[in-house]
Amino acid sequence: MKLSNGVEWALHCCVSLSQGHEAVPAARLAELHGVPAAYLAKHLQALARGGVVTSSPGQVGGYTLARAPGEITVLEVVTAVDGDEPTFRCREIRQNGPLAAPLEQCSRWCAIARVMADAETAWRSSLAAISIADLAEAIDDDSHGTAMRDVRGWLMSR
Amino acid sequence: MKLSNGVEWALHCCVSLSQGHEAVPAARLAELHGVPAAYLAKHLQALARGGVVTSSPGQVGGYTLARAPGEITVLEVVTAVDGDEPTFRCREIRQNGPLAAPLEQCSRWCAIARVMADAETAWRSSLAAISIADLAEAIDDDSHGTAMRDVRGWLMSR
DNA sequence: GGGGCGCTACTCGGATACTGTATGTCCGAGTCGCAGCGG
DNA sequence: CCGCTGCGACTCGGACATACAGTATCCGAGTAGCGCCCC
């Protein structure tokens, strides 16, 4: 079970976007994070589709957070980029083979699927408890208060 | 983030194995669950490598649970089949670009990686709380006590 | 009749093709800002 | 001097190649059981 690395890029981009009020083009975000611009654009489009960021075309266009940083959870970003399909897809193999379970016993999910779904819920809850604002604060603390200030300055310049 | 469907097969196989004391060949497990035998064998090998089941060659060989069903957790099965790499691999992009974080601030993990790791820990804990015996009991309850009895009977026959 | 030996059949295990998803890239459609022109 | 219009440049958005991992399969190495032969 591997998570697309686009998730990491998207989270960093959201944190950066939370530091400026102007729209930031995809190319500029790519430069800031040192990642391929064309590919990052793809993930930003996914964020836009997911309602995490809003895009504006034109000469001074770019991406902006759709809501306040404290109102956007990490889970939303992950879901927007990675898709909202469940990680475990039950193929109902209990209905296969010589001992196939009768259909009337399959009204509930398979016990295995329930366990996996519970685990996924725990994972999602953990991600939903953290907001972009929390991330920005944590990163700022790690850098003793310089990282976010530098990002703000860099976004302002040019 | 998608989980290999081999995980589902492996869990079902472990539950079935918990019902019989004889070694069960891969082909027989495949027949029981209605899945391709050659492919299932691959996953059973992974379970053997992970120490979840033990394999015995020869005419009456096959697979057996390596420990008591209550002592094997779902997490072990998932890890054995899917690999134990973390779902989120931090590429340290904070060290990229014009505002690269200095190395002395990177002694700890990136804040984003920490959040993802916490979520994964929650997921793993949830899976580690359930054993194969728990699964077998839950499946039995769903079928009003017939499913595991049928499996035992089918494994005895032939 | 008992013990030893060889054969056979069955098992797992890893090496080998194929498919789908993630990765990476590109060019076209659309929009906003700015400069130039006319009133 | 002010407003309108046309142009240009920049933006996003989706369509297009490529690389890798999951899917599916096969055949060879090894072992245990069984029957046969010899004593």
Contacts of B114 (CB under 8 A, 6+ apart): A138, B108
B1 touches strand D (CB under 7 A): no
Residues of chain B with pLDDT under 70: 158
B6 touches strand D (CB under 7 A): yes
- Over residues A94-151, the pLDDT tens digits come to 999 999 998 888 889 999 999 999 999 999 999 999 999 999 999 999 999 999 999 9
A114 touches strand D (CB under 7 A): no
Is the pLDDT at A158 greater than 80? The verdict is no
pLDDT, residue B106, reads 86
CB spacing of A123 vs B119 below 8 angstroms: yes
pLDDT, residue B142, reads 93
Between CA A6 and CA A14 the distance in angstroms is 12
> How near does any CA of chain B get to the CA of A138, in Å?
6
* Phi and psi, residue B107, nearest 5°: -70, -40
Between CA A138 and CA B112 the distance in angstroms is 9
Reference A3, options B114, B79, B87, B81; nearest CA is B87
pTM over cut 0.85? yes
Between CA B45 and CA B60 the distance in angstroms is 17
Locate all alpha helices (DSSP H) within A36-158, ordered by sequence. Answer: 37-49, 74-82, 111-128, 132-142, 147-156
pLDDT, residue B157, reads 84
**Which amino acid would we find at residue A87?**
T
pLDDT, residue B128, reads 98
CB spacing of A2 vs B154 below 8 angstroms: no
Residues of A123-145 as b/e, b for ≥16 C-beta within 10 angstroms?
bbebbbebbbebbbbbbbebbee
pLDDT, residue B35, reads 96
- Over residues A22-77, the pLDDT tens digits come to 999 999 999 999 999 999 999 999 999 999 999 999 999 999 999 999 999 999 99
